[in-house]
Chains A and B, each alone.
Chain A
């Protein structure tokens, strides 16, 4: 994966495969403490303790559930290479929360990449699933909640190109790469 937005897309695809109806994505850039945190919470079927413990092992795979494989191990590696960690908190029948943290300034921290492109691909591919996105950077917060959007849109599908284009423009402000960010 070239950047964190692709990891995000990959992990959220897991949420959709786990039968989630709502996926909450939270990105926090904490410059004061030199931390970057990406948290993904779903209300899917969850994992029991045994599966959650092996989910980051690339050599344990259960193709029938598609809950494990390379997605989580790759994100874990990306976090640990950049002075961070990956934690998984999962309860069967309730959902799963995956948190990846990074040392923000670490030379090996991958750039955030095209977060807007990731959200658009998710909404387009899974119009029936709701996504809530919060991105905190400095004093600024960018938010998107497809439940509110759908309510406003009424009978217009959220996958309409004009709607997706507006979402992309809205998110491009804080969601994209910082100017001059050239590491990774």
Chain B
């Protein structure tokens, strides 16, 4: 119980063998969750774990998930920035689990930004 089992890790190593793990440069989509104090208090962790579950359940290989600090728009949190390769980054604001799932389906997988949830399209890139 106290420690993770080595066998479990070995099993995971076997299961991911052969699948391609993309790093920053090669990913088709990069999603940044803003994890400042404001974002965390507003529900950023739920948004991040929702995205992770979507990636896992759909076995998506070309989307990377990362976090950054406060973007200075605290009253609009929780926020994410979706950067689909070769298109303008989109900042989504005031998210919850359901909105996040819709963004995953329609924008991240489908390529169509959801304008009604967006704060800005084509703003500065996140770090």
Inter-chain contact A1/B40, CB cutoff 8 Å: yes
Task: Indicate whether A167 sits within 8 Å of B4 (C-beta atoms), given known contacts A121-B49, A149-B9, A160-B21.
Answer: yes
Task: Indicate whether A156 sits within 8 Å of B16 (C-beta atoms), given known contacts A13-B40, A121-B67, A164-B52.
Answer: yes
Contacting residues, chain A, for B70 (C-beta < 8 A): 66
Task: Indicate whether A9 sits within 8 Å of B4 (C-beta atoms), given known contacts A124-B48, A164-B52.
Answer: no
Contacting residues, chain B, for A66 (C-beta < 8 A): 69-70
Interface string of B54-67 (1 = CB under 8 A from A): 01100000000111
Q: How far is the CA of A161 from the CA of B69 in the complex (A)?
A: 22
Q: How many residues of B contact A (CB 8 A)?
A: 31
Interface string of A64-78 (1 = CB under 8 A from B): 001001110010000
Q: How far is the CA of A161 from the CA of B54 in the complex (A)?
A: 10
**Would you call the interface of chain B mostly helix, strand, loop, or mixed?**
helix
Q: How far is the CA of A141 from the CA of B10 in the complex (A)?
A: 23
Residue of chain A at shortest CB distance from B45: A121
Inter-chain contact A160/B12, CB cutoff 8 Å: yes
Inter-chain contact B9/A152, CB cutoff 8 Å: yes
Inter-chain contact B35/A125, CB cutoff 8 Å: yes
Check: A38 CB closer than 8 A to any chain B CB: no
Inter-chain contact A13/B35, CB cutoff 8 Å: yes
Q: How far is the CA of A71 from the CA of B35 in the complex (A)?
A: 12
Inter-chain contact B33/A161, CB cutoff 8 Å: no
Inter-chain contact A9/B55, CB cutoff 8 Å: no
Contacting residues, chain B, for A154 (C-beta < 8 A): 13
Give B68 Cβ to nearest chain A Cβ, in Å: 8
Give A39 Cβ to nearest chain B Cβ, in Å: 19
Contacting residues, chain A, for B9 (C-beta < 8 A): 149, 152-153, 163, 166
Contacting residues, chain A, for B12 (C-beta < 8 A): 153, 156, 160, 162-163, 166
**Contact surface of A with B, Cβ cutoff 8 Å:** 1, 6, 9-10, 13, 17, 66, 69-71, 74, 114, 117-118, 120-121, 124-126, 140-144, 149, 152-154, 156-157, 159-167, 170, 173
